């Protein structure tokens, strides 16, 4: 059985735990919650048959097989970096955090010192294997467009661009680099950051973000061109009911990655 510690127990974390509850090869022993939220997290977990223990930090003597970050950007600084130093392998969902200058290098250095590794999860996007392979032969361009329901852009800089409650058609709220998209829209731009790290990098990947009041889906589309030829991919993901900023596929991506670590055959 694989012993897992999960950072965060919001919409993504709870959904992951629900899907893992009956998997005999995967066991989430601990959930790390932010200080002051322990009681709320315990309440969320009360209905589980085998609820994880709720902590606010990884104990000094704890050695989980995997640490899974499902908590947002702050958790990488607070929990992932120290875990890597201790030799604990980490899976990261909040890939958009890696747009912060120097953070990728710090993670690599911490993993090297701990003789362990980091796995960046594709989350709501597919085709990362093909894009990474294309990079080997030489990429010329990667263009990504993210389209989400207007309500998914609430409490973001999109509110300075347009009235999200009043628009009646698809409206472009951002055009620029993936680095700038991830900085301005950290809870919505993980896909852009993931494509960048697999392909041309944060500064050369072009991003367009759209608020669409007529859509009930999170639509991700990207095109890649290079020495290999070209391809494009579109995914129409249903948003998590508990959080419209997140695609349900992100949850399934976490469960798939954990299964690949625990099961005899991975793909």
Q: Which residues are annotated as a binding site for NAD(+)?
A: 124, 190
Comparing CA positions, the residue from 12, 205, 13 lying closest to residue 99 is: 205
Tell me 113's DSSP state: H
- Identify which of 226, 217, 221 has the alpha carbon closest to the alpha carbon of residue 244: 217
How many alpha carbons lie under 13 Å from residue 25 in its C-beta half-sphere? 10
Q: Which residues are annotated as a binding site?
A: 124, 190
- The Cα–Cα gap between 184 and 67 comes to 27
Residue linked to tokens 């709501």:
124
Helix (H) or strand (E) holding 229: strand 229-237
Instruction: Answer yes or no: 220 catalytic.
Output: yes
Please name the residues in contact with 262: beta carbons below 8 A apart, sequence gap of 6 or more.
1, 2, 23, 25, 26
Contact 237, 130 (CB under 8 A): no
Beta bridge partners of 28: 4
Please enumerate in sequence order all residues whose Cβ is within 8 A of that of 75, keeping only pairs 6 or more positions apart, or say none: 7, 8, 32, 69, 94
Torsional sign, CA 150, 155, 156, 160? positive
The CA distances from residue 66 to 1, 85, 120, 201, in Å, are 12, 14, 13, 27
Which listed residue (73, 220, 221, 263) is catalytic?
220
Active centre residues (catalytic): 220
């Amino acid at each position: 059985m694989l012993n897992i510690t999960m950072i965060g127990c919001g919409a993504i974390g709870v959904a992951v735990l629900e899907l893992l509850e009956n998997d005999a090869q995967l066991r989430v022993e601990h959930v790390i919650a932010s200080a002051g939220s322990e009681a709320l997290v315990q309440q969320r977990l009360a209905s589980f048959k085998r609820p994880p223990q709720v902590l606010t930090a990884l104990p000094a003597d704890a050695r989980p097989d995997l640490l899974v970050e499902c908590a947002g950007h702050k958790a990488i600084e607070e929990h992932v970096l120290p875990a890597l130093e201790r030799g604990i392998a980490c899976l990261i969902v909040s890939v958009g955090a890696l747009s912060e200058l120097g953070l990728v290098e710090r993670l690599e250095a911490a993993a090297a010192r701990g003789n362990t590794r980091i796995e960046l999860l594709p989350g709501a996007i597919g085709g990362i294997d093909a894009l990474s392979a294309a990079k080997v032969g030489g990429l010329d361009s990667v263009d990504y467009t993210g389209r989400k329901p207007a309500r998914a852009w609430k409490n973001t800089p999109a509110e300075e661009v347009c009235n999200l409650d009043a628009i009646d058609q698809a409206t472009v709220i951002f055009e620029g680099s993936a680095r700038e998209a991830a900085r301005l829209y950290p809870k919505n731009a993980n896909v852009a950051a993931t494509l960048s790290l697999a392909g041309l990098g944060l500064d050369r990947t072009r991003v367009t973000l759209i608020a669409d009041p007529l859509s009930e889906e999170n639509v991700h589309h990207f095109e890649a061109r290079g020495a290999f030829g070209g391809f494009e991919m579109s995914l129409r993901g249903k948003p998590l009911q508990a959080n419209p900023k997140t695609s349900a596929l992100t949850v399934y991506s976490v469960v798939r990655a954990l299964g690949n670590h625990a099961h005899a055959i991975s793909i």
